[in-house]
Amino acid sequence: MPKHKPKLGQNFLVDESARHRIADALGDIGHRTVLEIGPGKGAITDILAGRAGRLIAIELDNELAQVLASRYAVREHIRVVHQDILDTDLTSLIPAVEKADVVGNLPYYITSDILLHLFAASAHLGRAVVMMQREVAERVAATPGNRDYGLLSATSQLYCRVENLFTLPPGAFSPPPEVYSTVLRFTFAPRFHELGINDASAFDRFLKQSFAQKRKTLSNNLRSAGYEMRQLTAAWPASIPPQARAEALSLEQMAELYRALLESI
């Protein structure tokens, strides 16, 4: 097999139990399309190949992609795509009437970017079982008021139900990374309608403005984003303390403020 390339963030899973636990966490995929992000040397791919109705492995490393394509050449339900996941139009790979599942060991240096890429395609996805650096996973799964809660937490939980499945030590990989890795399961269920949000992109933008600077209050962040103080004062819900920071508020509270500001325009 090709040698590992540090610049691509490659740490190959070698723990036999872990690769089966990850595949098992997808559930019954016998009639589903599964997108695998960064299959690498095929530790999880080999298991999914015998379970998935259709498997699409997206691999950036040209050498690894060629090896995998050769290995599965006679398996008609398996396709290897040599491409950067961030440049891949996921919806073009998924049958129109179907929702696909996702699995992968996400490169640590672009984990957030990949998650945002998945959220953008959430209408076409069912669930995802993905591994990431433990510290990032803790941020994704954090609840309001927790020191790890921030924009990534709010955005993730706006699009998905998040479950923390298990954590792996560096020794589960070759070469071993310097950090622990955590496997999360996402069940895609965007909450915009539930929260009374009609424009998803506008609310995403509002969240970015609200969390722009962690040390600032929500009011000051929004003023920096262009909202006038009189507008904020007039629309500010009684349920939100005047000096609250975005990190302390639930998505319901953020949506309440967002709707009130829209109505005040």
* Domain final residue pick, 190, 213, 230: 190
Whether pLDDT at 245 is above 50: yes
Q: For the beta carbon of residue 214, count every other beta carbon within 10 angstroms.
A: 12
pLDDT value, residue 50: 96
For residue 175, say if its preceding peptide bond is cis, omega within 30 degrees of 0.
yes
Domain containing residue 249: CATH number: 1.10.8.100
- The mean pLDDT of 218-242, rounded to a whole number, is 96
Percent of the chain whose predicted confidence (pLDDT) is above 70? 97
pLDDT score of 10: 77
pLDDT class of 156 with cuts at 50, 70, 90: very high
The closest of 140, 128, 133, 129 to 182, measured between CA atoms, is 133
* Judgement on whether residues 76 and 131 belong to the same structural domain of the protein: yes
CA distance 237 to 87: 41
Provide mean pLDDT across the span 139-144: 97
Position 8 confidence tier, pLDDT thresholds 50, 70, 90: low
pLDDT of residue 121: 96
The response to whether 28 counts as a known ligand-binding position is: no
Residue 24 shares a structural domain with residue 123: yes
Residue 66 pLDDT greater than 50, yes or no? yes
Q: What is the pLDDT of residue 265?
A: 73
- CA distances to 144, 220, 230, 238, 258 from 235, rounded to whole Å, are 22, 15, 9, 9, 9
Q: How many CB atoms lie within 10 A of CB 32?
A: 19
Total count of residues recorded for the chain: 265
Residue 128 has pLDDT above 90, yes or no: yes
Tens digit of each residue's pLDDT (9 = 90 or more) over 76-87: 999 999 999 999
169/217 same-domain check: no
* Conformational region of residue 194, where left means phi above 0, alpha means psi within -120 to 50, and beta covers everything else: alpha
d(CA 251, CA 144): 9
Residue where a domain stops, chosen among 141, 159, 190: 190
Q: Does 46 fall in a domain? A: yes
Query: Same domain for 28 and 131?
Result: yes
Q: Is residue 3 part of a domain?
A: no
As a whole number of angstroms, the distance between CA 260 and CA 239 comes to 12
Burial of 18 (0-12, 13-18, 19+ CB in 10 A): buried
84 is an annotated ligand-binding site residue: yes
Residue 6 in any domain: the answer is: no
The answer to whether 132 and 184 have CB atoms below 8 angstroms apart is yes
User: Is residue 261 part of an annotated ligand binding site?
Assistant: no
In-domain check, residue 182: yes
The pTM score is 0.92
pLDDT tens-place string over residues 13-62: 999 999 999 999 999 999 999 999 999 999 999 999 999 999 999 999 99
Give yes or no for residue 7 having a pLDDT over 50: no
Per residue in 172-189, pLDDT (tens digit) is 999 999 999 999 999 999
- Contact between 65 and 58 (Cβ < 8 Å): no
Q: Does 5 fall in a domain?
A: no
Please give the Cα distance from 50 to 77 (Å, whole number).
10
Distance of CA 105 to CAs 40, 114, 149, 206, Å?
Answer: 9, 11, 23, 30
Domain co-membership, 129 together with 208: no
Regarding whether 242 and 213 lie in a shared domain, the answer is: yes
Q: Which of 170, 190, 210 is the last residue of a domain?
A: 190
Q: How many domains does the chain fold into?
A: 2
pLDDT of residue 11 exceeding 80, the answer is yes
Check pLDDT > 70 for residue 1: no
Residue 4 lies in a domain: no
- Report residue 4's pLDDT band, with 50, 70 and 90 as the boundaries: very low
CB of 32 within 8 A of CB of 4? Answer: no
* 13 annotated as ligand-binding: yes
Is the same domain home to 184 and 199? no
Residue 264 pLDDT class (50, 70, 90 cuts): confident
Could you tell me if residue 7 is inside a domain? Answer: no
| Per-residue pLDDT at 234 exceeds 60 | yes
Average pLDDT for residues 193-203, to the nearest whole number? 97
Asked if the structure places residue 144 within a domain, the reply is yes
- Are 55 and 176 found together in one domain? yes
Please tell me whether residues 40 and 155 are part of one structural domain.
yes
Task: Based on the fold, state whether residues 68 and 149 are members of the same structural domain.
Answer: yes
Q: Is 59 annotated among the ligand-binding residues?
A: yes
Q: Determine the average pLDDT of the residues in 65-91.
A: 96
- State whether 142 and 219 are in the same domain: no
* Residue-averaged pLDDT of the chain: 94
Do 93 and 180 fall into the same domain?
Answer: yes
Residue span of the structural domain in which 123 resides: 12-190
Q: What pLDDT does residue 9 have? A: 54
CATH number at residue 117: 3.40.50.150
CB atoms closer than 10 angstroms to residue 62: 10
Phi first, then psi: what are they for 37, rounded to 5°?
-95, 120
